[in-house]
Amino acid sequence: MSIKVGDRLPSVTLMHMTEKGPAPITTDELFGKKKAVLFALPGAFTPTCSARHLPGYVEHAGDFTKKGVDAIVCLSVNDAFVMNAWGKDQNTAGKVMMIADGNGDFTKKVGLEMDGSKFGMGTRSQRYAMVVEDMVVKKIEIEEPGAFKVSSADHVLGVL
């Protein structure tokens, strides 16, 4: 069963890139005592993710800030090196935090994993977006397989 509105995010250690290299960051650090938008996707550098999903959040980062969002977090079942390279490619610095769920621990704990093995991708995250306030899910939008609508930046801005 997947996470739902009113549920608390699990405490999980994820990874992100720092000036000194990959470093752990907890969900408590990312989402505690703040309002955040978390969006997750199947993989860095994949077509829809690179052409539409991440760019929308980069483009509208200022609009999210105006609506009281403290952090925009992009999460994928990739490693911190890949997420960092993708962030540089997409110019996310200062706009979207690129967070690696390399082992899929968070994705599995929130019940939003998908089997991408028929595409050679193994276990990945479903495409979704959620609004989180102090670790509690306030809104969640999960895409149907192959779809891209309800987790888009435009849609999430409209439901904030």
Is residue 49 annotated as a catalytic residue, yes or no? Answer: yes
Residue 8 β-bridge partners: 136
Distance CA(81)–CA(102), nearest Å, equals 10
Residue whose entry in the numeric block shows the structure tokens 């439901």 = 159
Query: What is the C-alpha radius of gyration for the chain, rounded to an integer number of angstroms?
Result: 14
Distance CA(47)–CA(15), nearest Å, equals 23
> Of these residues, 36, 49, 80, 135, which one is catalytic?
49
Distance CA(141)–CA(3), nearest Å, equals 11
Token digits of residue 127: 């495409």
Measured in whole angstroms, the distance separating CA 13 from the mean position of its chain's CA atoms is 14
Token digits of residue 160: 């904030």
Which residues are part of the catalytic machinery? 49
